Amino acid sequence: MDYRKCAEEIYETVGKRDNLVSAAHCATRLRLVTKDNSRVDIKHLEDIDGVKGVFSSNGQLQIILGTGTVNKVYDEFLAISGMTAATKDDVKAAAAASQPIYKRMVKALGDVFVPILPAIVATGLMMGLVEALGKAIPAFSSSDWYGFLDMIANTAFVYLPILVAVSAARVFGANIFLGAVVGMLMIHSNLVNAWSVATYEGPIPVWHLIGDVVTIRQVGYQGHVIPVIIAIFCMSKIEKQLHKIVPEVLDLFIVPLCTLMITALATFIIIGPIFATLETYVLTFATWLVTELPFGIGALLMGALYPFTVVCGLHHMYNVIELGMLSNTGLNTWMPVASAANFAQCAACLAVAVKATKLKTKSIAVPSALSASLGITEPAIFGVNLRFMKPIICGSIGGAIAAAIGSIMGVGATANGVTGIPGFLITTNCTVQYAIMLVIAFAIAFGLTYVVWKEEVEPENVVESSAAPTAPVAPSITCEKNTVYAPIEGNVIPLEQIPDDTFASGVLGQGVGIEPAVGRVVAPYDGEITVFFDTKHAIGLTNDDGVEMLIHVGINTVEMNGKGFSPKANVGDKVKAGQTLLEFDIDEIKKAGFSTTTAVLVSNTDDFKAVKVEKTGNSKELDKIIVCEQ
């Protein structure tokens, strides 16, 4: 093909240089970040000679060109556009910067909370269990054991602003110790505890910094999330700017002092009060919804909104509503709303755990779902559902419907502070109705999430690997013309059964999948290695007959960064059929949560009249599996 012409047409179609931010490539795809995707004519792009497919992923425009072609088109593209080659990190950073602001904000929240999830999960699970035991066994609630366990369980939540501040400082590139100090300031013991404001006797103390012009209410921010993150974000900007303007000789003394002082003033004078005002409005509105609207409409709306108030850190203040209900009527009708919402988020998180293939996602989602089932939803919401967006919406729908039904059935409680499964201990003669409500919340949220949510696949980044030790050449066989022999012993399956849409569609070439029985890849014919992925999980080869092959071990195994893979050959090596090219650890791949199914594809399928599969089912190494007809 005319690589120059292909590159020129792509360049014209994507909007030329003024619409391009970054360009890179992997072994099969040209990866572009554009300023405005609406200026890209996708249909025209797909019709360009040499382009095998186009899709968008994580803010990147992916143009599938195939092994051996993409690098040549990429070189021409750089020459035409005048751009420089970008790394994987460059492209990811550019793609992230081009995302809508709401997506960047959601990503920032996820990045802040994921590192602190272990602490929240551990103390959250213990909090649910301790509170449930205290409600069930009154004598236990006054014991020393209860006091000790309650202290452990409450620690992460009592000092949550500090954890959030340290994590946010890492995310925003600020000094983590200055971030910790800001977090400590927001819950300092000299301040009135935010959870005690409603019962505080007398007027709230105020600092008059400049008469009545600049005043600070002496109230802490226990349980809050958003003001802490905003404060640390502002602190990072202040610190970075001061580093630029303060001479190095004075940097150590001036920058930390000024950064802390300015941030503290901004937090207590502007950020905190604004959030407190917003909190008051939300709580007033919530009370009106729950107590005034008939037929469960208020519960429906609050069941939908509840998880988003958790995101804002407002949910702890709902204790005021519940205590008010109990003091007036003796019945807490807010509890079913919170419980339905929490249990629905548990179900949505569990659906992600069931459907996800990435071990990291599963390892976060499973304990987070368990915590949410006991009423502690922060791990599930911040660590999983909010990060992927669709699960939190599906959970909100399930929670809304279940909350409305619970309200109609008259579900209530005689206490507060417990939801989810432990909520059975405080329901009032409505255990069956409460169970029905939870089942409805779970079924709707789980079902919707499982259907709607789809795990995003990271685009692969491929470059030629550095030299690797060459294994002894295996005895060669007599290769038939245009024939591909099995490179792996295992179960050969049709192309469409490969658990990856890109491979299964045939857009990267016709071939088969192999479910390996042995962790070894051998040469499928006499030929030359043209590419060896830097992550060691895939190999490109060609032979004298012009058959170009791509052997891709596992699905999404690029994320393993070479762990479990041991190359036995180098790019440029002339290899014989049966020669060992790569060894891999099947158990390591499975442990990482990835499929071991290996794609064996003829990447230049269009050069042949037909690519026929000769064998499926159990096969040994070097069994004839593919024949290319010219």
Neighbouring-strand partners of residue 540: 531, 550
Integer CA distances (angstroms), 72 to 2, 21, 69, 320, 433, in order: 10, 20, 5, 66, 66
> Average pLDDT for residues 552-558, to the nearest whole number?
89
Catalytic residue of the set 25, 394, 552, 628? 552
> Average pLDDT for residues 406-430, to the nearest whole number?
81
Rounded to whole angstroms, how far apart are CA atoms 171 and 623? 52
Neighbouring-strand partners of residue 542: 528, 548
26 in active site: yes
Q: What is the Cα Rg of the chain in Å?
A: 30
163 contacts 179 by C-beta, under 8 angstroms: no
Q: What is the model's pLDDT at position 247?
A: 92
Integer CA distances (angstroms), 179 to 81, 182, 313, in order: 43, 5, 19
What share of the chain has pLDDT > 70, as a percent? 85
Is 465 a residue whose pLDDT tops 60?
Answer: no
Is 471 a residue whose pLDDT tops 50?
Answer: no
Q: What is the DSSP letter of 560?
A: G
Q: Report domain extents, the chain.
A: 3-99, 483-629
Is 290 a residue whose pLDDT tops 90?
Answer: no
- Predicted TM-score (pTM) of this structure: 0.52
552 in active site: yes
Multiple choice CATH, 3-99, 3.40.50.970, 3.30.1360.60, 1.10.1740.10, 1.10.10.10: 3.30.1360.60
Catalytic residue of the set 26, 349, 394, 628? 26
- pLDDT-wise least confident of 86-90, 265-269, 306-310, 582-586: 86-90
Mean confidence (pLDDT) of the chain: 83
610 contacts 626 by C-beta, under 8 angstroms: no
| Three-state DSSP class for residue 571 | coil
| Three-state DSSP class for residue 350 | helix
Positive or negative torsion for Cα 296, 307, 100, 228: positive
User: Residue written as tokens 């005048």?
Assistant: 82
What share of the chain has pLDDT > 90, as a percent? 36
Rounded to whole angstroms, how far apart are CA atoms 129 and 181? 32
Higher pLDDT, 473 or 504: 504
Architecture of domain 483-629: Distorted Sandwich (2.70)
Express each pLDDT in 212-250 by its tens digit: 888 898 988 876 778 888 999 999 999 999 999 999 889
Q: What is the model's pLDDT at position 97?
A: 62
Express each pLDDT in 5-62 by its tens digit: 999 999 999 988 888 888 888 767 788 888 887 888 888 888 898 887 787 766 778 8
Rounded to whole angstroms, how far apart are CA atoms 415 and 424? 11
Is 123 a residue whose pLDDT tops 80?
Answer: no
Q: What is the model's pLDDT at position 276?
A: 63
Q: What is the model's pLDDT at position 403?
A: 93
> Average pLDDT for residues 449-476, to the nearest whole number?
58
Express each pLDDT in 262-278 by its tens digit: 999 999 999 988 876 77
User: Hey, do 3-99 and 483-629 end up sharing a CATH topology, with the first three levels equal?
Assistant: no
